[in-house]
Amino acid sequence: MEALGANISSTCPMPFAGITGDLFLKAVTAVVAAHCSILDDYTWPQDNAEKVIEMGSSTSYDFIIVGAGTAGSLLASRLSYIYPSWSILLIEAGDDPGIDSEIPAFLFLNQNSNNDWFYKTQPDGQSCLGFRNTSCIWSKGKGMGGSSSINAMIYLRGHPEDFSYWANIGNYGWANDDLVKYFEEQEEFFNITDSAFPGYENQWYDILDSAWKELGFQAHNYINHETVIGTKRARILTQNGKRMNTAKTYFKNACNLIVMKNTIVEKVIINKKTNQALGVQIQHKSGIKMEISAKREVLLAAGSIATPQLLMLSGIGPKNHLEAMNINCIVNLPVGKNLQDHLFFPLFFKTKINQQLPSDLINILLLQYMLTRTGPFSNIGLTDYMSFISTHNNSEYPDIQFHYTYFTKNDNFVLQPYLEGVGYNTEVIKSIEALNHEHDLLGVYPTLLHPKSRGEILIEKSDLSKPIIKANYLQHPDDLNSLLKAINFVHNLEKTDTFKALGIELLNVKIHSCNKYSFNTDAYWECYIRHMATTIYHPVGTAKMGPEHDDTSVVGSNLIVHNTRNLRIVDASIMPVIPRANTMAATLAIAQKAVDIIREQYSSKDEL
């Protein structure tokens, strides 16, 4: 602190002279020190990449885990803690997250950063039409913690029926009753078990609760973490006003864990006679390539895009596709198929509140956060409030989730970076900004929870390192019909006394291609959805879990890749059907169950 103060005063001596100058200097120094302290309370695991490279290919490891994201960090940390004598190598393509990822309110600003893989979907002429190059951006975390370093931190399990379905199609041991203990364990671990949690203050919580109650829906608030019909305030993974990166949290209990950062795994080395995973081929950021051997297993936790990509590069995937890529097919499996995602789009409403935030106030609020870790920057605004409906009569299972945002009038701080980060084209951004110039904006986002469309991940022949993402949004007509029904429901909200009292009315976002249709008709909304709908960053299912006789599956209920040995997948790609919720909680439960599956397999003394 003294050195910092001396440096400031020497740079600009006169303003910091005298008693008032000294007091001001101390205040400035305190603010700078507070900003620095955001990272001071935690040290990421050491990068052992150079040491691993120096030891060379002659050294082997009991387990090699690919990916230090939501699942991989938990898996590596827990296994290292349970079996401290094992040598566990965790390989991560990225580095430590930066300071921006620590601040909850900056969640929209982490997109397209060094912490983001910045994937893009292949244009199909049917969706993502209002985005740059008619391609949706799929942000996925790159670095320690993976997507838990850039996501919205929302914790929801899903609906119990989601996991019962997993079991009913042959994945025994994966029903909701089997997974409850893992959900409860991680909720205890992250200290989010208290249903009386007071939450954050936001006037919109009460406004939206009131409108939904007019329509006969119950407010569940923090009662549980399951997605049931009604409204809910979800818990977010924050602590002391900062993001609770799952890797950061789990690594605190790691033991004897070897981490390689800034290292790409190019393929898994497979014995072509036995189909046994022998290790991995890697390339470090320095350009050095080498092979590393695994004595027991290779575990892929690279996520729903990189995991199938890596399998195919290793010779495991659809035979026709691999042969077209000049890759020898070792195991013919439907890798990359069954891709599912939650699709959502914004509806913007004007209000009579017309709140504005002067830049001076934003600076004061930022200072408040830096000094106390409280205030608007310590949470995610209205994004943790959500509601669930079923568009099917008398169904207790939701198929539509509503997310919400609120932008003050003439928002110069969040709106433009958000719209650009999502990837909307200039026409769409200007149209929304014009509305915001006149009004504050309530954003209501219908989200498709149970899509019937299926996409796929492929590899590009001209550049095998870049995956082709065919989202196939709205390919199934039922998906569009469900979203149109969601819009009809939103009109019911608009008619409530609560909305009317505040002048909350739906606005027309001008899109040239949709102007030929009358506003508020099905034809208009279909055009609007095809232009405005995008990912909510929940891709799953590309290495589907199912019994071996299911020719659409890739891994069994023990997570071992069919017809292989010592190759296991532990991430969201194994989900047979996407849960009706944000997917982080279910991904953590998969990793926890994987730890128990591995522990049971290696429980006998001769295996240790």
C-alpha 485/C-alpha 483 separation (Å) is: 5
DSSP 216: T
User: Could you tell me if 269 and 178 lie in one domain?
Assistant: yes
User: Could you tell me if 552 and 589 lie in one domain?
Assistant: yes
Cβ proximity of 222 and 233 under 8 Å: yes
**Residue 606 confidence class, pLDDT cut points 50, 70, 90:** very low
- Structure-model confidence comparison of residues 604 and 510, the more confident one: 510
User: Could you tell me if 22 and 77 lie in one domain?
Assistant: no
pLDDT in the model for residue 365:
86
Query: In this structure, is residue 232 part of a structural domain?
Result: yes
Q: How many domains does one find in the chain?
A: 2
pLDDT over threshold 90, residue 78: yes
Element (H, E) at 23: helix 18-36
- Residues 373-386: tens digit of each pLDDT: 888 888 999 999 99
Lowest mean pLDDT among 65-74, 150-159, 599-608: 599-608
pLDDT in the model for residue 12:
60
Query: In this structure, is residue 488 part of a structural domain?
Result: yes
Mean pLDDT, residues 355-363: 83
Domain containing 593: what range?
A: 49-601
Lowest mean pLDDT among 78-92, 147-161, 193-207, 430-444: 193-207
Query: In this structure, is residue 608 part of a structural domain?
Result: no
DSSP 46: P
Domain containing residue 67: CATH number: 3.50.50.60
Instruction: For residue 259, list its beta bridge partners.
Output: 90
Per-residue CA distances from 412 to 207, 440, 573 (Å):
25, 12, 38
- Residues 92-142: tens digit of each pLDDT: 999 999 888 888 988 877 777 788 899 999 999 999 999 999 999 999 999
Query: In this structure, is residue 42 part of a structural domain?
Result: no
Where does 449-583 show beta strands of DSSP type E? 456-460, 463-470, 505-506, 534-535, 567-569
- Residues 499-511: tens digit of each pLDDT: 999 999 999 999 9
pLDDT in the model for residue 557:
98
The reported pTM is 0.93
User: Could you tell me if 315 and 458 lie in one domain?
Assistant: yes
pLDDT over threshold 90, residue 64: yes
C-alpha 585/C-alpha 583 separation (Å) is: 6
Confirm or deny that 265 is annotated as ligand binding.
yes
Mean pLDDT, residues 506-519: 96
User: Could you tell me if 240 and 336 lie in one domain?
Assistant: yes
- Residues 393-422: tens digit of each pLDDT: 767 899 999 999 999 999 988 999 899 999
User: Could you tell me if 6 and 77 lie in one domain?
Assistant: no
Tokens of 345: 């789009």
- Residues 433-459: tens digit of each pLDDT: 999 999 999 999 999 999 999 999 999
Angle between helices 522-532 and 477-494 (to 10 degrees): 110
- Structure-model confidence comparison of residues 132 and 223, the more confident one: 132
Instruction: For residue 443, list its beta bridge partners.
Output: 348, 405
Tokens of 34: 């507070």
Lowest mean pLDDT among 86-100, 352-366, 523-537: 352-366
Query: In this structure, is residue 214 part of a structural domain?
Result: yes
pLDDT over threshold 90, residue 566: yes
- Structure-model confidence comparison of residues 517 and 369, the more confident one: 517
User: Could you tell me if 395 and 511 lie in one domain?
Assistant: yes
Q: If DSSP codes are grouped into helix, strand and coil, which group holds residue 58?
A: coil
Residue type, 604: S
pLDDT over threshold 50, residue 233: yes
User: Could you tell me if 14 and 66 lie in one domain?
Assistant: no
C-alpha 120/C-alpha 122 separation (Å) is: 7
pLDDT in the model for residue 527:
98
Contacts of 388 (CB under 8 A, 6+ apart): 227, 228, 229, 230, 231, 232, 398, 400, 401, 402, 449, 580
Query: In this structure, is residue 44 part of a structural domain?
Result: no
Q: What is the mean pLDDT of the chain?
A: 91
Mean pLDDT, residues 459-471: 92
pLDDT in the model for residue 541:
98
Query: In this structure, is residue 302 part of a structural domain?
Result: yes
Query: In this structure, is residue 41 part of a structural domain?
Result: no
Cβ proximity of 136 and 471 under 8 Å: yes
Q: Burial letters for 505-543: b for 16+ Cβ neighbours within 10 Å, e otherwise?
A: ebbebebeebeebeeeeeebbbbbbbbbbbbbbbbbbbb
347: nearest Cα among 505, 535, 126? 505
**Residue 608 confidence class, pLDDT cut points 50, 70, 90:** very low
Is 551 exposed, middle or buried (CB count within 10 Å of its CB: 0-12, 13-18, 19+)? exposed
pLDDT over threshold 70, residue 298: yes
**Residue 369 confidence class, pLDDT cut points 50, 70, 90:** confident
User: Could you tell me if 284 and 332 lie in one domain?
Assistant: yes
C-alpha 411/C-alpha 345 separation (Å) is: 20
User: Could you tell me if 15 and 116 lie in one domain?
Assistant: no
- Structure-model confidence comparison of residues 361 and 71, the more confident one: 71
User: Could you tell me if 472 and 432 lie in one domain?
Assistant: yes
CB atoms within 10 A of CB 7: 11
User: Could you tell me if 32 and 60 lie in one domain?
Assistant: no
Q: Work out the percent of the chain whose per-residue pLDDT is above 70.
A: 92
